[in-house]
Amino acid sequence: MELIRNRILGILLIFVSFSHGLHSQIKVSEFLQESKIATTDNNKLYFVDFWATWCGPCITAKEHLGVLQKQFPNDLYIVSLTSENPLVVERFLKKKPADLAIAIDYNKETFKSYEVAVLPDGVLFNSQGKVLWRGGAPDLKKEIVSKFLRQQSSKSSLSSFFKIETIEDESISEYVPIEDLEINALSNNVEELSVVDTENYLKLTGSLKQIVGYLAKIYKNQIVIEEHLNTNYEVYFKKPMNENENLAVKLVNEMNLGVVRTYKDGEGISFSADASKFWDTQQIDWGKNNAKYLVGDAQIQADNVSLRDVAYQLAYVLDMPIIVPDDNLVSLSLHDWDFHYKFFQLMQSDLEDNFGIIAEKKIVSYPVYHIQKKAP
């Protein structure tokens, strides 16, 4: 009996020791394809490339990752992971075939675990799941991979490194709206706004405040809504849409809500613009299904985007209102953008020299929109 107890204790100690040596498996919903370059067994390193079909810079970065994968076909395994609908990704791969492994994180579990906020992004792991390096795909150089390969001795297979959590086929079937506007209330909590813009529809998932802010290009602190009204929704706008129609107003009216505008004084940035110096739409081209924005740690790039759209993105990263000219020709016409935003004086210089925009940080009077139930 004592011998049996000792053997069981020994097995338990080995199991505990082994478990503590391993990190959590990386969770994916499914693999659409395995790598056509790398081997699936005995890899020292794994690189998870967070991307999306609509992210132009992500697609460009794949060329670099393809070259890198060919340089290390036996010890490094690169997986491009997206949270998009598998049907959308499959259609994309038919138009633009890839040699890298492609996987789906349908519930965004891995995206959330690693707090992926800006694309492209990527994480380099050892075979046990320990994070070794993080950054954009173009910054992962051959020298970095070689250094970490020299430091690693353990290996693991693709099947042991990734944990596949399957989902029902019905939950991933692509829905096409029937009505021009469809609003579905959600019971689950939605932390971040999700935007899906396809040829057939625009789909927004998030709180009412997030959705209205996106549609109207209004900074979050300029929207006031009572907590019981600010619940979560899935909203579809069927295409083609009327370019002159205000989608935010359409949504609010459909929900039998009203908007009262007041003004508040506070710190902000005021733009005055000379439209003649704006870039045209030929400076940056990320293709038809592009991200429109690439917001890095210090730089904003945008493809075919209005001044009002850029101001909306800038307001969030600087956490203050941005006031733009009311002239629709100036604020709503489409242009390409590339400027620094982290240090204000450098941003001022970039905007004035390249786009003819004078940016002033000062106390401004900015509108605040109060969303409330219409009086009966």
Every domain of the chain and the residues it spans: 22-164, 175-255, 258-368
- Report the C-alpha gap between 323 and 271 in whole angstroms: 6
Phi, psi angle pair for 353, to nearest 5°: -70, -40
Per-residue pLDDT, 63: 87
CB of 180 within 8 A of CB of 186? no
Q: Is pLDDT at 24 greater than 70 in this prediction?
A: no
**Bridge partner residues of 123 (DSSP):** 48, 134
Render pLDDT for 122-177 as a digit per residue (tens, 0 to 9). 999 999 999 999 998 888 999 999 999 999 999 999 989 998 876 554 445 567 88
Is the pTM above the cut of 0.85? Answer: no
Q: Which pLDDT score is estimated for 13?
A: 31
Average confidence (pLDDT) over 50-77? 89
Kindly give, in sequence order, each residue whose CB lies less than 8 Å from that of residue 302, ignoring residues fewer than 6 positions away: 284, 292, 293, 294, 309, 310, 313, 336, 337, 338
Q: How far apart are CA 28 and CA 26, in angstroms?
A: 7
Rg (CA), the chain: 24
pLDDT of residue 207: 92
DSSP state letter for 148:
H
- Given a cut of 70, whether residue 223 has pLDDT beyond it is yes
pLDDT at 47 over 90: yes
CATH architecture, domain defined by 22-164: 3-Layer(aba) Sandwich (3.40)
Mean pLDDT of the chain: 85
The answer to whether 304 touches 281, Cβ cutoff 8 Å, is: yes
For residue 362, what pLDDT is reported? 95
**Type of residue found at 25:** Q
pLDDT for 326 = 84
Condensed to tens digits (0 to 9), the pLDDT of residues 359-374 reads 999 999 999 999 999 8
Across 95-105, average pLDDT = 91
Cβ neighbours of residue 332 closer than 8 Å, sequence gap 6 or more: 306, 307, 308
The answer to whether 201 and 237 have CB atoms below 8 angstroms apart is yes
What crossing angle do the helices spanning 56-71 and 142-151 adopt, rounded to 10°? 50
Closest CA to 64 of 122, 127, 115: 122
The count of C-alpha atoms lying within 13 angstroms of the C-alpha of 272, restricted to the half-sphere facing its C-beta, is: 3
Gap between the Cα atoms of 363 and 365, Å rounded: 7
- Percent over 90 (pLDDT), the chain: 52
